[in-house]
Every structure is written in structure tokens, then in C-alpha cells.
């Protein structure tokens, strides 16, 4: 009997883990739809639970409170999935590491920024406006996002500096701050949503501006 029960144990654990993952995904999908439609303030945990067809306690157990749900939705949209694979190990980031020159590397970084915007751009106005309006929970999420971005831009700046070199007089720390500023969510939101730029135009501008600022002269042809 004990052997039979032991044989069922791993299977039961796997089933429970898959059920938990599926429930969490339903909660995040429901929350994303509500946040995009009603904003953060207009969305309640009760509404998320009702849309996901789970109890309110299940929302808290699988994800957390409303602020934690918003951050989880942002992370899911940022990655494009719920795969735990870090952004640095994804295809565009890998291509950046093997780029033959600094301009190509930064063009790929602009492409990665565009891919991120394509996924998370619809959520940015909510984060920007409600964070700026003084909602402390959203402000903390935005602060965390900016800290995570600073870590990412720091890594890119160090890679450029070590592999290709920076414009004379520009330190890796300054380069990281420049990349952090150029890729800011508020900047792309202003250009694309407020000024009517196409995402293609923004990506091209971002690639050229980052390269001109960090590297200096463009590559010679021929």
C-alpha cells in the first residue's frame, strides 16, 4: 500500500502544480483585462476574482494583493509569457552579446526595447499616470521597475564599454544613465502616444541616438 501511495505522490504533486499555474494564469489574464479597461484605481480584487472565476482568497493565495497583481501582470507582459527564462537569456539579448560592433549591438538593444514596448506599451499609461498621481502602491511598482531598468542598462553599458569602447570622456556609469533615460517608458509614451510617432520611427531614432551619443562617429562604409 505504501509503495502504491508513494507512486501516486509525484503525479499528484505535478497535477496540483499545474492546476496552481493555470489558476494563477487565469487571475493574471483577468487582472490584465480589467487594468487595461478600468485602470488601477477602478479595478478591485473582487472584480479580478469574479472575472477569473475564483475566490478572492485564491487571488491573494496565488498572486497577492492588488499591487502584487499589477506587478505580476507587468512582469508577464514584459516577458511576453510566464516562462521564468531571464530577459538576458532570450534571443535578442543573446544576439546583442554576439554583435560584431557597437552600433549593431545598440540597434539590437533598440529592437529589444521595441519588443518590450509592443508587449507592455498598453499598460504604461496606467503605471505612469497613476504613479504620478500619487498612488503609493503604484509608485512603489514604478520605482521597482526603474531600479530593474537601471540594472539592465548598466549591464548593456558595461558590455559596450568592454567590447567596443565608448566615446572619449564617457564613463560606463554615464553611459548607463544615458541608456536608462533614452529607454524610459515616459519618453516612448510621449513620442508614440502623444506625438504620434510610429513605433518603427521610434525604434530607428532610438538606435541612432544611442549609438551617436555613446559611440560617436558612425561606422565608415566600404
Sign of the dihedral through C-alpha 128, 130, 134, 135: negative
Q: Say whether domain 10-77 belongs to CATH 3.30.465.10.
A: no
The candidate with the shortest Cα–Cα distance to 121, out of 189, 33, 187, is: 189
Q: Please tell me the CATH code under which domain 85-222 is placed.
A: 1.10.357
Instruction: Domain ranges for the chain, please list them.
Output: 10-77, 85-222
Q: Report the predicted TM-score, pTM, of the whole model to 2 decimal places.
A: 0.76
The domains spanning 10-77 and 85-222 adopt the same CATH topology: yes
Question: What's the CA gap between 222 and 220, in Å, rounded?
Answer: 7
Residue with the three cell numbers 537601471: 150
Question: What's the CA gap between 134 and 131, in Å, rounded?
Answer: 6
Q: Per residue of the chain (222 residues), give pLDDT as tens.
A: 444 455 556 667 777 778 888 999 999 999 999 999 998 889 999 999 999 999 999 999 999 999 899 989 988 888 776 555 666 667 787 888 889 999 999 999 999 999 888 888 888 888 877 766 667 888 888 888 889 889 999 999 999 999 999 999 999 999 999 999 999 988 998 999 899 999 999 999 999 999 999 997 665 444
Is residue 153 a contact partner of residue 179, using CB atoms and an 8 Å limit?
yes
pLDDT of residue 58: 95
pLDDT of residue 175: 97
- Phi-psi domain of 134 (left: phi exceeds 0; alpha: psi -120 through 50; beta: other): left
Please list, residue by residue across 20-43, b when 16 or more beta carbons sit within 10 angstroms of its beta carbon and e when fewer do.
Answer: eeebbebbbebbbebbeeeebeeb
Q: What are phi and psi of 55, to 5 degrees?
A: -80, 160
Pull the grid cell for residue 38. Answer: 478600468
Question: What is the rounded end-to-end Cα distance, in angstroms, of the chain?
Answer: 77
pLDDT of residue 73: 92
pLDDT of residue 131: 66
pLDDT of residue 128: 77
pLDDT of residue 222: 42
pLDDT of residue 1: 42
Amino acid at each position: 500500500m505504501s509503495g502504491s501511495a508513494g507512486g501516486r505522490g509525484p503525479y499528484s504533486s505535478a497535477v496540483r502544480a499545474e492546476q496552481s499555474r493555470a489558476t494563477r494564469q487565469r487571475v493574471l489574464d483577468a487582472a490584465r483585462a480589467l487594468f487595461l479597461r478600468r485602470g488601477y484605481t477602478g479595478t478591485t480584487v473582487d472584480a479580478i476574482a469574479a472575472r477569473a472565476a475564483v475566490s478572492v482568497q485564491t487571488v491573494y493565495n496565488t498572486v497577492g494583493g492588488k499591487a502584487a497583481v499589477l506587478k505580476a501582470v507587468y512582469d508577464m507582459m514584459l516577458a511576453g509569457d510566464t516562462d521564468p527564462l531571464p530577459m538576458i537569456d532570450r534571443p535578442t539579448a543573446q544576439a546583442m552579446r554576439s554583435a560584431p560592433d557597437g552600433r549593431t549591438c545598440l540597434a539590437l538593444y533598440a529592437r529589444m526595447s521595441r519588443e518590450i514596448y509592443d508587449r507592455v506599451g498598453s499598460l504604461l499609461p496606467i503605471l505612469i499616470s497613476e504613479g504620478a498621481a500619487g498612488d503609493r502602491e503604484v509608485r512603489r511598482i514604478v520605482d521597482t521597475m526603474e531600479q530593474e531598468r537601471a540594472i539592465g542598462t548598466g549591464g548593456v553599458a558595461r558590455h559596450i564599454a568592454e567590447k567596443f569602447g565608448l566615446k572619449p570622456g564617457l564613463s560606463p556609469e554615464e553611459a548607463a544613465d544615458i541608456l536608462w533615460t533614452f529607454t524610459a517608458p515616459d519618453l516612448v509614451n510621449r513620442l508614440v502616444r502623444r506625438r504620434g510617432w510610429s513605433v518603427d520611427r521610434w525604434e530607428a531614432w532610438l538606435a541612432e541616438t544611442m549609438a551617436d551619443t555613446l559611440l560617436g562617429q558612425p561606422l565608415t562604409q566600404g
